[in-house]
Amino acid sequence: MLGRAPSPNNLPFMPALSGLTALVTGASSGIGRAIALAMAREGADVAITYRGNERGAREVAERVGAVGRRCVVLQLDLARGPAAMEALTAGVRRELGRVDVWVNNAGADIVTPDADRTPTLEKLDLLLAVDLRGSILASWAAAELMGAQRDPDGGVIINMSWDHVTFGMRGRNPEMYSAVKGGVLSFSKSLARSVAPAVRVNVLAPGWIETAFGEGLEDARHRAVAESTPLGRWGTPEDVAAAAVYLASPAARFLTGQVINVNGGVVM
């Protein structure tokens, strides 16, 4: 289904991801939660991971079940490195048997008020371990799993970057975040060449998205972001989820190594 064009007669009635299985890391809240729910609504069974928010993950699983799809909940701490990936892939094989779409959404929090008080070097080490090394290891695991499935329709890996990595933003946190998310973007382009044609690899680069960080900003700065955005508002997790569904679907079957900025035009 990932490699073949859908029948024109069925296109208006067939969910975009019908019959597929998807893994979304970091899906207990925010963007990951929205992606998991959107993929379930489009017909996919999903596996989701959480690091510490098990309650949030279970709530997502309940909502997935409410639309008639299966949801597997797995604990994952990307900072643990290869051991964490071995446990995750074993859990996915055991619970779902296969994965058609793998979304590397999990990332370290360095910007919410509590996290922002963490010393700079600890933030940097966490970003490198979770966002960069974690995305690389997870992508390798996904590509290996999909290759072993020997499915003629292949598979899809979606990695998460940041729209400002090609534009820049002043400040210590943006400096570190740009380095790490820029690494994810560059890695993904090389991986796309390595695993083609069996697996497609694409990147989502969200901008100002209304998650916990946006909700915690003072009103004046929140308004300033919206006013500086060509489309006149903050993005929502559902905006990012819609782009993820598109990249996972047969509609994007000829896209690999590409980046979609989900940002209302802030960076073009």
Q: Which of 50, 177, 208, 234 is catalytic?
A: 177
Q: How far apart are CA 151 and CA 133, in angstroms?
A: 27
pLDDT tens per residue, range 91-146: 999 999 999 999 999 999 988 877 888 999 999 999 999 999 999 999 999 999 99
pLDDT tens per residue, range 160-217: 999 999 999 999 999 999 999 999 999 999 999 999 999 999 999 999 999 988 777 8
The fraction of the chain above a pLDDT of 70, given in percent, is 95
In this structure, are residues 212 and 257 in contact, taking their beta carbons and an 8 Å threshold? no
Give the predicted TM-score (pTM) of the model.
0.93
Report the candidate in 127, 135, 131, 180 with the shortest Cα–Cα distance to residue 158.
135
Q: At what angle do helices 82-95 and 134-149 cross, to 10 degrees?
A: 40
Domain 21-256 architecture = 3-Layer(aba) Sandwich (3.40)
Averaged confidence pLDDT in the chain: 93
246 in catalytic set? no
